[in-house]
Structure 1
Amino acid sequence: MTELKRDKLGTWSDGKILDPEEGEVYRVKIVTEDGKKMDVRGYIDVPLLGRTQVWHKVEQ
């Protein structure tokens, strides 16, 4: 992920993310509420045309 910018509400957006399986680069938006779970949305042009994955922080 690159070029992400954080807004006042803690949402990260305006970045790019690489799909390693396809080799394609998409726009990305990330929302986190508790710092342990992230909703990562990759999309083309507008967030409505995309897919969201939920990433969880691994405890060490």
Structure 2
Amino acid sequence: MVKMKLTIALICSTLASFALAQDLTGTWKNIDDKTGSSKAILEIRQENNGTYTAQVVKVTPRPGYTPKEICVKCPAPYTNQPILGMDVLKGLKHVEGPNYANGKIIDPLSGHIYSMKAKLSPNGKRLTLRGYVGVSALGRSQTWIRND
């Protein structure tokens, strides 16, 4: 009986920690995959339909780079919109375990919009995003680190 209670307690605590790790909401530091430095602070929120959206809440200054303030090369409705406050990730859905898919992400520096998927680390501290056109093999990955 004691062994059974311990097993149930262990399963419940594992499920609880897994459920917590699935929560993407909060602030994240966007790490440049080429330089390793932070490009921005983003806030991920969950929409009423269960999808996730990320908004730029701070543009991080980097050595030798003056951040752009406006999304000049972006298609409508992003054209000439301020990057600060912009929703750069939309429609990301939880699909299975730590995996998310079906999102769209815009690069405000180039103006390109990519399909994307993401995977949350087991401890919930790192989010690996994969932006791509067509198939994910033809894409680029980026890591976001939980900031809160």
Q: What TM-score comes out, normalization by structure 2 length? A: 0.38
* Aligned-pair CA distance for 1:10: 2.5
Which SS does the other structure have where 2:96 is aligned? Answer: coil
User: Partner of 1:20 in structure 2?
Assistant: 108
* Aligned-pair CA distance for 1:5: 1.4
Task: Return structure 1 stretches of 4+ with deviation > 3 angstroms.
Answer: none
Distance in 1 between the 2:110 and 2:96 partners?
33
Distance in 1 between the 2:147 and 2:93 partners?
24
Computing the radius of gyration over CA atoms, which structure comes out larger, 1 or 2? 2
Which SS does the other structure have where 2:105 is aligned? Answer: strand
Unmatched 5+ stretches in structure 1: none
User: Partner of 2:136 in structure 1?
Assistant: 47
Give 1 or 2: higher helix fraction.
2
Which SS does the other structure have where 1:28 is aligned? Answer: strand
User: Partner of 2:126 in structure 1?
Assistant: 37
Give 1 or 2: higher strand fraction.
1
* Aligned-pair CA distance for 1:7: 1.2
Q: Give the letter aligned to residue 136 of structure 2.
A: P
* Aligned-pair CA distance for 1:8: 2.3
Unmatched 5+ stretches in structure 2: 1-88
Provide the alpha-carbon RMSD of the alignment.
1.1
Q: What TM-score comes out, normalization by structure 1 length? A: 0.87
User: Partner of 2:145 in structure 1?
Assistant: 56
